[in-house]
Amino acid sequence: MIVIINYGLGNLFSVLGAVEKLGFKAKISSKIKDMEKADKLILPGVGAFSDGMKNLHELGLVEPLTKLVVENKKPILGICLGCQLMAKESDEFGHNQGLGWIDGSVIRLETENKELRVPHVGWDELLQRKKSTLFEGIPEDALFYYTHSFHIKCKNVNDILGECDYGGLFTAAFCHNNIYGTQFHPEKSQLHGLNLLRNFLEKR
């Protein structure tokens, strides 16, 4: 069973649809008991960092979810805002503390090419920096769908699986032990996105 974490922000049903299309049983839930029973978790998200953390705190999910992921090593995939919330902090609309699962900070996307617009919206390459089960069967020049104004800056370069060049490089995918994150939306990225989701859901 796959649990898609509902904390009031995110494209929950598009993620659910993608997971079910791949043949996996899944449910949307904000109950920690469901998350404890799950084989794997997905933390999606669209919106502001501060709202995401506020909602997680109000639902009482921060401490039990941290125990489940960090101590018990439950596999989890964060998508877009979901992956950003895994960082230690963010400077979006002031300083905000994150879940702290990944040693890194969420910062505004800055481009060297002033003709490039922020937010970064649309299809762009994923530059694979490390071999990962997440990328099995996905070509080096695969395109994924992005929509964001902020990104996570990992302090440990070994955590970085892939980058995107949008007027400068930023982390597009990371992994730290059982914790995975993608700045792009695999559920909106057609065949390559579905393959990436399948890799996360199938592999150990």
Residue pair 52/28 in contact by the 8 Å Cβ criterion? no
pLDDT at position 141: 87
Query: How is residue 6 written in tokens?
Result: 């509902």
| pLDDT higher than threshold 70 for residue 175 | yes
d(CA 165, CA 42): 26
Residue among 103, 69, 109 nearest 89 (CA): 103
User: What percentage of the chain has pLDDT greater than the value 70?
Assistant: 100
**Residue ranges of the domains in the chain?**
2-202
| pLDDT higher than threshold 80 for residue 166 | yes
Class of domain 2-202: alpha beta
Kindly report the number of other CB atoms within 10 A of residue 89's CB atom: 15
pTM of the model: 0.96
Helix (H, G, I), strand (E, B) or coil at 89: strand
User: Band of the pLDDT at 204, cuts 50, 70, 90?
Assistant: low
pLDDT at position 11: 85
pLDDT in tens, 120-165: 999 999 999 999 999 999 999 899 999 999 999 999 999 999 999 9
d(CA 111, CA 36): 41
Q: DSSP letter string over 39-77?
A: SEEEE---S-HHHHHHHHHHTT-HHHHHIIIIIS---EE
The average confidence (pLDDT) of the chain is 95
User: Band of the pLDDT at 93, cuts 50, 70, 90?
Assistant: confident
Helix (H, G, I), strand (E, B) or coil at 82: helix
| pLDDT higher than threshold 70 for residue 119 | yes
| pLDDT higher than threshold 90 for residue 113 | no
d(CA 147, CA 47): 10
What is the mean predicted confidence (pLDDT) over 83-94?
93
Q: 190 — alpha (psi -120 to 50), left (phi > 0) or beta?
A: left
Q: Which residue numbers are catalytic?
A: 80, 185, 187
pLDDT at position 25: 97
| pLDDT higher than threshold 90 for residue 101 | yes
Alpha carbon of 137 to those of 38, 62, 129, 163, 176: distances in Å?
Answer: 26, 34, 15, 18, 21
Query: How is residue 113 written in tokens?
Result: 């090419």
- Main-chain phi, psi angles of 150, to 5 degrees: -125, 165
What is the mean predicted confidence (pLDDT) over 76-94?
94
